[in-house]
Structure 1
Amino acid sequence: MRIYLLIAAIAGGVTWLVTPLIRHLAIEIGAVGQVRARDVHTIPTPRMGGLGMLIGFTVATIFASRMPFLSGLFNGNYQMWVILAGGIMISLLGMADDLWDLDWMLKLAGQLLISVFVAWGGLQIISLPFGDSLVTASPSLSMAITAFLIVASINAVNFVDGLDGLSSGIVAIGGIAFAIYSYIIARSSPSYASLATLIDVAMVGVCVGFLLHNWHPAKLFMGDSGSMLLGYLITCASIVMTGRLDPASIHASIYLPLFMPILLPILVLFLPVLDMVLAIARRLAKGQSPMHPDRMHLHHRMLRIGHSVRGAVLILWGWAALIAFGSITILFFKAQHVAAGMAAAVVVLTLATMYPYLKHRLPELQAENLAYEAARKSAQHATDAPRVGKADKSDTTSATGKADTTDTVNTANQSDQSDNKSDN
C-alpha cells in the first residue's frame, strides 16, 4: 500500500508543480477559454490544464517501472505503455480542441481511432457473462466493446466538466473506490502488484494535484485535454482488471462479484453518464446535435435552484461518493446494512440538494397560504353579509310591532279611565 501512496504522491506533486507553467504556456499560445453563453465563469480563463495532468501521470508511470515491487508489471508486458501512449494521444486531441475548437464529429472520430488503437494493442474485455457461465468474446467483439466503453467514458467526463473542481473531484472519488477494490482483489493473487491499482492511484494523484489549482475560483481549466484523459484512464483501469481473471476456471456465481470491473466505470461515473444520457436525449428531442451546448446540465440545475459553485460541487461529490463506495461496500458487507446506510445518506444528500430551493420556496408557500386564508375569510364574510341584513330587518319589525301593541294598550287604558271619571 505504501508503494501506491508514493506513486499517488509523485503524480500529484508533479502535476501541482507543472500546472502553473502550463497556465503561462496556455496564455502565451492563446488557449484561453472565452466566456460563452453556457459558461458559469465570468472572465476568460486559460485552458489546457490536462497537459499538466498528463505530465504528472507520465512521470509517475516511469517511476513505477523502476520500482522493484511494480517492475514486474512492465517486464515483458507492454500493456501499460500502450495505455500511456493512448493517454498521450487523447490529451493531444483534447489540446487541439482547446486551441481550435474542433468540430464534434472530428473529435469523436479521433476518440474512436485512439480507442481502437488501444484495444488493438491488447487492452480488451476478454470475457462476458452469459447465462450461468462466462464466455470468451471474439477479438472483434472485444475490440468493439472496449472502444465503445472508452469513448462513452471520455465523453461522460467531458460533459460534466462545467464547474471548478467538479470533474476532477468526481473522477478522484471514483478512482479511490476502484483502487480499494482492485487492491483487495490483487491481494488474492500470488503478486500484490496490480496494474489497475497503479493506474487508479496515479490518476487520483493527478486529480488532487490539479484540483489545488482548479478549486473555485479556478486559475486554470483542465479543458478537453484533461477531461478526456481522465475518462480514458478510469476506463482503462477497469478493463485491465477483467484481464486478470480466467473465465474458464471460475463459475459465474463466484465470478459475479469479481465481474464488477465492467459495471464499476458506470457506477463510479454514474453522475457523468446520467448527465450525458439526459443531455443527448434532450438535444435529440429538440432536433439538435447530441453535442449541441446548453445550460441544462446537472450542475447548471444546481446553480439555478440557489447553490453556490462550491456548494454545488461538494454536493455532487457527495452523490458520486455514495454511488461509488456503495457499489464497492456491497461486495464486502451484508446487503441490508449497506442499504440502510445508503438510505440514510440519500436522505441527507436530498435535503442538502433541495435546501436552497426549500429555503426560498417555503416562505413563498407560507405567504400563499396566508393570502388564500385571507381570501377565503373575505369570501365567507361577503356570503354571510346578506343573512345578517335580513336578520336585522326582522328584529326591527318585531320591535316596531311590539311598540305599536304597547301604545294601543296604553290608549285603551286611558279611555277606560276617562269613562270612569265621567261616571263619577
Structure 2
Amino acid sequence: MRIYLFIAAIAGGVTYLITPLIRHIAIEIGAVGEVRARDVHTIPTPRLGGLGMLIGFTVSMLFASRIPFIQGLFAQSQQAWVILAGAVMISLLGMADDLWDLDWMLKLAGQLLISVFVAWGGLQIISLPLGSLVTASPSLSMAITAFLVVASINAVNFVDGLDGLSSGIVAIGGIAFAIYSYIIARNSPSYASMATLIDIAMVGMCVGFLLHNWHPAKLFMGDSGSMLLGYLITCASIVMTGRLDPASIHASIYLPVFMPILLPILVLFLPILDMCLAIVRRLRKGQSPMHPDRMHLHHRMLRIGHSVQGAVLILWGWAALIAFGSIMTLFFKAQHVLIGFLIAAVVLTVATMHPYLKHRIPEILEEDAADASRHAALRSSKYGKK
C-alpha cells in the first residue's frame, strides 16, 4: 500500500507543480475560455489544465515502471503502455477542442478511434455476466469496450461545469476502485495490480489539480482534462473486472458486487445520469445531443440557491454515497449498509433541497396568508351586503 501512496504523491506533486506553468502557456497561446451564456464563471479563464494532469499521470507511471514491486506489470504485457498512449491521444484530442472548438461529430469520431485502438491493444472486456460468466467474442469485446470508454469520456465531459466538480467526482470513484482492486489483488500471488496503479495515479493527479481548480479556479482542465479522466477511470475498471476468468472460483464471489458492465455506471452514476438527461432533453427539443444548455445537474443546484462550493460539495457527497455504498458490502452486512445508505441519502436530500425550501416555505406561507385575507375580505363584503 505504501508503494501506491508514493505513486499517488508523485502524480499529485507533479500535477500541482506543473499546473502554474501550463496556465502561463495557456495564456500565452490564447487558450483562454471566453465567458459563454451557459458558463458559471464570469471572467475569461485559461484552459488546458488537462495537459498538467497528463504530465502528472505520465511521470507517475514511468516511476512505477521502475519500482520492483510494480515493474512486473509493465514487463508481463504492453497493456500499461497502450493505456498510456491512449491517454496521450485523448488529451491531445481534448487540447485541439480547447484551442479550436472542434465539431462534436469530429470529436466523437476521434474518441471512437482512440477507444478502438486501446481495445485492439489489449484493453478489453473478455467475459460477460450473462447468467454466469460467458466469454465474449473478440469483435463483441472490442465493441463493448469502445462503447464504455466513449460513454464515460462524454459523461465526465458533460458534468465538468463547476470548479472542482469533475476532478472531485472522479477522485472519489478512483478511491472506491482502488480499494476494490486492491482487495482482489490480495487474493493473487502478487499484490501488484494494474487497476490499482491507474486508480491511484489518477486520484493523485486529480488532487494535485484540484488545489488550483477550487473555486474561484485559476485554471480549467478543459476537454483535455475531462476526457482524460473519463478515459482513465474506465480503463481502470475494465482492467479490474473485464478479465474475470469464467472458470475461476473467485468469479462467483466478486461478480455479484461489481459486474464488468455496471461497475463504471455505479461509480460514474452522477455524470452518466446527467449525460442521459441532457441527451433526452435535447432530442425532445429537436436539438443535437451535444447542443449546450444550462440545464445540467450543477446548473439546477445553482438555480435553487446553492453557492458554487456548496453545490460541488453536495454533488461530491452523492457521488461518494453511490460509489462507496457498493464497496461497503465487502466489509459489512448488506442490511447494515442499506440502513446507512438510506440515512445518508436522507441527509443529502435535505442538504440538496435546503436552499429551495428555505426560500420557498416562507413564500408558501405568505401565499396562504394572502389567500386567507382575500377569503376573509370576500366573506366580510358578502355579509356586509346582506
Deviation at 1:172, TM superposition (A): 0.3
Is 1:357 aligned to residue 356 of structure 2? Answer: yes
Which residue does 1:401 correspond to in 2?
Answer: none
Report the AA paired with residue 154 of structure 2.
N
Report the AA paired with residue 152 of structure 1.
A
Q: Distance in 2 between matches of 1:158 and 1:198?
A: 23
Contact 1:90 1:111 in 2 (8 A): yes
Report the AA paired with residue 145 of structure 1.
I
Q: 3-state DSSP class of the match of 1:257?
A: coil
Which residue does 2:200 correspond to in 1?
Answer: 201
Which residue does 2:319 correspond to in 1?
Answer: 320
Q: TM-score, normalised by structure 1?
A: 0.89
Which residue does 1:371 correspond to in 2?
Answer: 370
Q: 3-state DSSP class of the match of 2:255?
A: helix
Q: Distance in 2 between matches of 1:184 and 1:12?
A: 23
Deviation at 1:264, TM superposition (A): 1.9
- Worse-superposed segment, 366-375 or 201-210: 366-375
Deviation at 1:379, TM superposition (A): 2.2
Contact 1:134 1:251 in 2 (8 A): no
- 1:288-367 equivalences in 2 (<5 Å): 288-367=287-366
Which residue does 2:113 correspond to in 1?
Answer: 113
How high is the sequence identity, in percent, across the aligned residues? Answer: 84
Report the AA paired with residue 268 of structure 1.
V
Deviation at 1:249, TM superposition (A): 2.9
Contact 2:128 2:260 in 1 (8 A): no
Deviation at 1:200, TM superposition (A): 0.1
Q: Distance in 2 between matches of 1:202 and 1:251?
A: 27
Which residue does 2:24 correspond to in 1?
Answer: 24
Q: Distance in 2 between matches of 1:2 and 1:343?
A: 34
Write out per-residue CA displacement over residues 166-217 of structure 1, whole angstroms, 9 at most, x where no aligned residue: 0000000000111111111111111110000000000000000000000000
Q: Distance in 2 between matches of 1:10 and 1:18?
A: 12
Report the AA paired with residue 155 of structure 2.
A
Is 1:248 aligned to residue 244 of structure 2? Answer: no
| Aligned-residue CA RMSD (Å) | 1.3
Q: Distance in 1 between matches of 2:136 and 2:111?
A: 23
Q: Distance in 2 between matches of 1:223 and 1:105?
A: 18
Contact 2:129 2:260 in 1 (8 A): no
Deviation at 1:162, TM superposition (A): 0.4
Write out per-residue CA displacement over residues 366-387 of structure 1, whole angstroms, 9 at most, x where no aligned residue: 1111112212222222333355
Q: Distance in 1 between matches of 2:52 and 2:4?
A: 20
Deviation at 1:129, TM superposition (A): 1.3
Deviation at 1:260, TM superposition (A): 3.4
Contact 1:315 1:353 in 2 (8 A): yes
Deviation at 1:363, TM superposition (A): 1.1
Contact 1:149 1:235 in 2 (8 A): yes
Deviation at 1:223, TM superposition (A): 0.2
Q: Distance in 2 between matches of 1:349 and 1:16?
A: 31
Contact 1:12 1:209 in 2 (8 A): yes
Q: Distance in 2 between matches of 1:293 and 1:246?
A: 42
Which residue does 1:392 correspond to in 2?
Answer: none
Deviation at 1:78, TM superposition (A): 0.7
Contact 2:129 2:259 in 1 (8 A): no
Q: Distance in 2 between matches of 1:182 and 1:353?
A: 32
Which residue does 1:84 correspond to in 2?
Answer: 84
Report the AA paired with residue 86 of structure 2.
G
Is 1:103 aligned to residue 103 of structure 2? Answer: yes
- 1:46-65 equivalences in 2 (<5 Å): 46-65=46-65
Contact 1:257 1:331 in 2 (8 A): no
Which residue does 1:139 correspond to in 2?
Answer: 138
Which residue does 1:422 correspond to in 2?
Answer: none
Deviation at 1:251, TM superposition (A): 7.8
Which residue does 1:181 correspond to in 2?
Answer: 180
Which residue does 1:283 correspond to in 2?
Answer: 282
Contact 2:174 2:233 in 1 (8 A): yes
Q: Distance in 1 between matches of 2:188 and 2:243?
A: 9
Q: 3-state DSSP class of the match of 2:287?
A: coil
Which residue does 2:216 correspond to in 1?
Answer: 217
Write out per-residue CA displacement over residues 312-359 of structure 1, whole angstroms, 9 at most, x where no aligned residue: 000100010010001211233212111111111111111111111111
Q: Distance in 1 between matches of 2:383 and 2:54?
A: 79
Write out per-residue CA displacement over residues 136-188 of structure 1, whole angstroms, 9 at most, x where no aligned residue: 00000000000000000000000000000000000000001111111111111
How many residues were matched structurally? 386
Q: Distance in 2 between matches of 1:59 and 1:294?
A: 37
Higher gyration radius (CA) = 1
Write out per-residue CA displacement over residues 249-294 of structure 1, whole angstroms, 9 at most, x where no aligned residue: 3386435236434322111110000000000001111111000000
- Worse-superposed segment, 240-249 or 172-181: 240-249
